[in-house]
């Protein structure tokens, strides 16, 4: 998996703040900084996540849904010169179209690829039980423990050592599948297999 050093954050508030702090810790552990770039709207310009980020790029939007306007987000991502994009949860994190769009732009999309999201969100693929979900993930070539809320593998940045951070995999459907946690290595393999 490709390494990166500049991560644009397509989220806000506590989610963005937590990522910024975790990225800072990973940078210290790796011995090389991971630059965080907060994308923000006019209303958020004085928010904590914007102040804590290493850099900030304004999202130019006249509407209320700036975080859902893909053209506006694409412009902001290009302005950020990021080589990776973290979406966290909510907003565009569960939309395979956005993941595909980021991939076409060039930065690493930190999260499941569009094809993996489509497979995870397909209610015909998954049975309604944890065991069914586990078997369905295994058919996709993904090892998952639906009873586990954490894993012990490098998470935020591939090859980050032993940071032991969990990586929840968002899906396009609600329910048990949305709470699965995968190791970075397993996730990388699953995204490569689905592409």
pLDDT of amino acid 145: 54
pLDDT over 50 (residue 174):
no
Confidence of residue 1 (pLDDT cuts 50, 70, 90): low
pLDDT tens digit sequence for 34-75: 999 999 999 899 999 999 999 999 998 766 688 888 999 999
pLDDT tens digit sequence for 114-153: 888 887 765 444 444 455 556 666 666 665 554 443 333 3
pLDDT tens digit sequence for 18-44: 999 999 998 888 888 899 999 999 989
pLDDT of amino acid 2: 65
pLDDT of amino acid 189: 47
3-state secondary structure the chain: CCCCCEEEECCCHHHHHHHHHHHHHHHHHHCCCCEEEEEECHHHCCCHHHHHCCEEEECCCCCCCHHHCHHHHHHHHHHHCCCEEECCCCCCCCCHHHHHHHHHHCCEEECCCHHHHHHHHCCCCCCCCHHHHHHHHHHCCCCCCCCCCCCCCCCCCCCCCCCCCCCECCCCCCCHHHHCECCHHHHHHHHHHHC
Residue-range domains of the chain with CATH? 1-110 (3.40.50.20), 113-195 (no CATH)
Q: Greater confidence, 162 or 5?
A: 5
pLDDT over 50 (residue 4):
yes
pLDDT of amino acid 90: 81
pLDDT over 90 (residue 107):
yes
């Amino acid at each position: 998996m490709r390494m990166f050093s500049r991560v644009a954050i397509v989220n806000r508030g506590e989610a963005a703040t937590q990522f910024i702090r975790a990225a800072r810790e990973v940078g210290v552990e790796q011995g090389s900084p991971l630059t965080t770039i907060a994308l923000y709207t006019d209303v958020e310009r004085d928010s904590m996540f914007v102040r804590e980020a290493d850099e900030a790029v304004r999202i130019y939007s006249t509407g209320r849904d700036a975080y859902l306007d893909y053209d506006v987000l694409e412009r902001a991502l290009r302005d950020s010169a990021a080589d990776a994009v973290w979406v966290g949860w909510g907003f565009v994190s569960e939309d395979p179209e956005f993941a595909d769009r980021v991939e076409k732009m060039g930065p690493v999309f930190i999260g499941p690829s569009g094809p993996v999201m489509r497979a995870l969100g397909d209610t015909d693929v998954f049975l309604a039980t944890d065991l069914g979900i586990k078997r369905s993930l295994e058919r996709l070539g993904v090892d998952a423990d639906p009873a586990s809320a954490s894993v012990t593998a490098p998470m935020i940045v591939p090859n980050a050592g032993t940071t032991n951070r969990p990586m929840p995999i968002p899906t396009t459907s609600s329910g048990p599948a949305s709470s699965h946690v995968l190791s970075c290595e397993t996730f990388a393999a699953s995204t490569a297999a689905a592409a």
